[in-house]
Amino acid sequence: MKRGNLIISNPFIFNDKYFNRSVILIASHEISSSIGFVLNKPFDLNLNSIVPEIRQKLKVFIGGPVETDNLFFIHNRPNLIPNSKKINKNLYWGGEFESIIYLLNSKSITDNNIKFFLGYSGWSKNQLKNEYKTNSWIIKKNIYNEKIIVEDHKNMWRNQIKLSGSKYNIWLNSPENPSFN
Task: Label residue 27 by pLDDT band (50, 70, 90).
Answer: very high
Residues pairing with 7 in the sheet: 24, 139
> How confident is the prediction for the chain on average, in pLDDT?
90
Q: What residues pair up with 28 in beta bridges, in sequence order?
A: 35
pLDDT digit string, tens, across residues 80-138: 999 999 999 899 999 999 999 999 999 999 999 999 999 999 999 999 999 999 988 99
For residue 36, what are the CA distances in angstroms to 81, 99, 141, 167, 181? 20, 23, 14, 26, 31
For residue 8, the cross-strand partners are 23, 138
As a whole-number percent, the residues of the chain with pLDDT over 70 amount to 90
> Looking at the domain that runs over 6-180, which CATH code has it been given?
3.40.1740.10
Helical H runs in 67-144?
97-105, 127-133
pLDDT at 176: 60
Quote the pTM value. 0.91
